[in-house]
Structure 1
């Protein structure tokens, strides 16, 4: 039929019409704006359902915990990019987020998968949770894999952010099997790896969120959303108190060249 648009797929998140915007079955202007917090809305967007008060509170706490941690690589990348292109705030924010991987920020996701695997191994092999954690950690050690969410260059004895999140989970009544898996990994890690590795915030975040009902597949989104707010704050400061070129200058001075000299035939 002439003028008919062929439907090739569906989405249940949003519909935009001339006089109305529908989000997951709710009217954006009538039901959501001014009536919900961003954290509640974020969870609603993810799941399509009304999140529990405990999940909202736990997610809110995790967003606050991971948003800011000084001049870490993501912040430096953003500041250096903004120094070079102050007309492109979005580019500088993107630069700060692109390094979210298994070492920085993205470790929350891989730690969450680890805790899920510990629980699956416990159930599949009908063993206790400490034995399951020990088996998986030994496999990781043989494969020369780091343990996500454990160890920290600054917080060598204890990461206070992790301690607070676990305490809050207990206060909210959402401590469950994923926190138990974290604790089992914590108990077994020194035996498997031969040294003490303190849990850091990237281990606490997935444990408390998964126990509160957050979807495993979206865990990496939490540090991304949180760090975006911090990046914008750093870039506003960069505009009025530039550090980007100073960081670059110190790197240039602090890194020695050890390559061959021009004409050096021995290289």
Structure 2
């Protein structure tokens, strides 16, 4: 990220005075409240544009798809934090979101950049997307880099959310170019990696969102926003039916110390 040349703070997102609040050029009270759903409002906040029908349906579908998946690491971190500080839901939510990196939640952005790299590489392969996908994945493999958006510890055949999102995108009229690229990457992986790595939801999300013009720089924000909603649900349950300490106790029961031990102390005997 480059350092800007601005000498005064500025933003095109919001302004307010005594009488009104303006968000992206619209009067919040008169034009937005009660007239736009939250997914579309998120789109407006991020892009400055009203979501068309395809973008609305696809974005809302991705938010639903990624919000919840059980006691994943972000949820466990949040629930254990809540157990330790039940008066600070904001801290517990933050604990869950702070792990949004290359493995958890952040993989959607990485996968999106992968698809853009394949698209760019196709220019050097006469427009052949399959050849471009093979070249890009081969380069990742040579550099021992993970292939974001592919493989899942539980969904070995293919993450069931992938097909659902692709169906929404097609039905809504979203662009299919990045869906095609995502599928081609899946197809070339076995010959390069030596095993199948099927698409997961973090690969499907950028494929459908890029197809409706969602910016790649904001892709990570989609799973973060969605997971925040789920975390609040988990934390409300934590307050009513706590398991945070149970999660901690399970870790303690399975704990194995692998470090060195001090030398045995000499046995004491006789009188001093």
TM-score normalised to structure 2 length: 0.93
User: Alpha carbon RMSD of aligned pairs, Å?
Assistant: 1.3
Aligned residue number for residue 114 of structure 2: 114
Tell me the alpha carbon deviations over residues 169-218 of structure 1, each in whole angstroms, 9 at most, x when there is no partner.
11112142111110110110111111011110000000001001111110
Q: Please list, as runs of the form range in 1=range in 2, the aligned pairs for 1:101-250 lying within 5 A after superposition.
A: 101-250=101-250
CA distance in 2 between counterparts of 1:127 and 1:234 reads 47
* Unaligned ranges ≥5, structure 1: 1-6
Tell me the alpha carbon deviations over residues 30-66 of structure 1, each in whole angstroms, 9 at most, x when there is no partner.
1111111101111011111111111011000000000
State yes or no: 1:255 paired with 2:230.
no
CA drift of 1:255 comes to 1.9
Tell me the alpha carbon deviations over residues 230-254 of structure 1, each in whole angstroms, 9 at most, x when there is no partner.
0000000000111110000000011
CA distance in 1 between counterparts of 2:126 and 2:114 reads 18
TM-score normalised to structure 1 length: 0.94
Q: Which moved more, 1:168-177 or 1:193-202?
A: 168-177
Q: Please list, as runs of the form range in 1=range in 2, the aligned pairs for 1:24-39 lying within 5 A after superposition.
A: 24-39=24-39
Aligned residue number for residue 55 of structure 1: 55
CA distance in 1 between counterparts of 2:47 and 2:264 reads 62
* Unaligned ranges ≥5, structure 2: 1-6, 266-272
Q: After the TM superposition, which segments of 4 or more aligned residues of structure 1 sit over 4 Å from their partners?
A: none
CA distance in 1 between counterparts of 2:36 and 2:78 reads 30
**Which structure's CA Rg is the greater one?**
2
Tell me the alpha carbon deviations over residues 141-193 of structure 1, each in whole angstroms, 9 at most, x when there is no partner.
01001100100000011210111101111111214211111011011011111
CA drift of 1:124 comes to 3.6
CA distance in 1 between counterparts of 2:141 and 2:243 reads 40
Aligned residue number for residue 4 of structure 1: none
CA drift of 1:127 comes to 4.3
CA distance in 1 between counterparts of 2:196 and 2:175 reads 24
Report the secondary structure of 2:206's partner residue: helix
CA distance in 2 between counterparts of 1:73 and 1:221 reads 18
